[in-house]
Amino acid sequence: MKIKQYRTQFIKELSPFYDAYEAESFFYLILEDKHKLRQIDLALNHELNFSENDFIVWESLLSQLKKEIPIQYLLGKTSFYGLDFEVNENVLIPRPETEELVEWIVNENGKADKTKKIKILDIGTGSGCIAISLAKNLPNAEVFAIDVSKKAIETAKRNAINNNVDVAFVLLDILKTEELQCNFDIIVSNPPYVRNLEKEEIKKNVLEYEPHLALFVEDNDALIFYRKIAALAQKNLLGNGQLFFEINQYLGRETKDLLLKMNFKNVELRKDIYDNDRMMKGNV
């Protein structure tokens, strides 16, 4: 079957589950991953064909996409802040909003004295996307990362190797930690923050396939991770050290009030590309 012909069939079969733009994007992601072909290659050569074995692979992927399994998990990878990351069912798929958080940290610290080492801790690292991106873009940084999931840590370690950066990964339950082992210039976290009451807003591909451990908190204590991490930051951030959070868009005011009540200075709340409250920074 001609690839161009199959493309039409592929998008049509996914139409009950995704809009046409998203279905088309899946087609070209798979085309590039499995065949090293880009959209322009197909446009220039309408006669490109799938072999019988190719067709079997595509039909298998199509079947899984109909179950709304994330394309990133099917391909086993995604891009984040210009880098490639392995992703699997043990880690969240990195979001564009989190890239904005990384950008904020890089902009705040990228122009500092390059001879001065800075220590960074990423809490709840998952795939390692934040820690690794910071290590890659802040050459004077010594980066540490924590997660409660052993399998997430294993994934993050592979991602650090594949992106040629040094990050020290530690298996640790932050909620059971009273004090960190050393002090830091920057602490950053994208902790679980989705309340159970918000589950109805979550798409099936996230709700059924991404790890709930990294997503959800109880409705009656939605800021449990923020309160704990902020308390640790008070003890373990160096003078004028920076605390960065990705936050629940519905709890921007509450999260800011929490930091202010804990005597953080210069507390700043920022919106993401979708105009939602999403990022926060404070200094000790």
Q: What is the pLDDT of residues 34-49, one digit of tens each?
A: 999 999 999 999 899 9
Which phi and psi (to 5°) does residue 139 adopt?
-60, -25
Listed in sequence order, the residues at least 6 apart from 260 whose beta carbon sits closer than 8 Å to its beta carbon are 267
From 231, 133, 240, 112, select the one nearest 184 (Cα to Cα): 240
- Rounded mean pLDDT, 159-184: 96
The pLDDT of residue 276 is 97
The pLDDT of residue 115 is 74
DSSP-based three-state secondary structure for 164: coil
Compute CA 173 distance to the chain's CA centroid, rounded to the nearest angstrom.
Answer: 19
Separation of alpha carbons 185 and 182, rounded Å:
10
Kindly state the DSSP code that residue 275 receives in the 8-state scheme. Answer: S
Which phi and psi (to 5°) does residue 242 adopt?
-110, 135
Separation of alpha carbons 219 and 264, rounded Å:
25
Where are the domains positioned within the chain?
3-67, 90-283
Q: Which residues pair with 78 in a beta bridge?
A: 85
The pLDDT of residue 220 is 94
From 247, 275, 272, 276, select the one nearest 259 (Cα to Cα): 247
Residue type, 39: Q
The pLDDT of residue 6 is 94
Separation of alpha carbons 45 and 256, rounded Å:
55
What percent of the chain stands above pLDDT 70? 100
Task: Decide if pLDDT at 114 tops 80.
Answer: no
Separation of alpha carbons 228 and 174, rounded Å:
8
The rounded mean pLDDT for the chain is 95
Task: Decide if pLDDT at 165 tops 80.
Answer: yes
Separation of alpha carbons 143 and 132, rounded Å:
8
Q: What is the pLDDT of residues 189-242, one digit of tens each?
A: 999 999 999 998 998 889 999 999 999 999 999 999 999 999 999 999 999 999
Q: What is the pLDDT of residues 57-66, one digit of tens each?
A: 999 999 999 9
- Which string of DSSP letters, residue by residue, matches 71-98? HHHHHTEEEETTEEEE--TTSPPP-HHH
Taken in order 232, 188, 284, 195, the sign of the CA dihedral is negative
Topology classification of domain 90-283:
Rossmann fold (3.40.50)
Rounded to the nearest 10°, the torsion over CA 179, 180, 181, 183 is -120
Give the pTM.
0.93
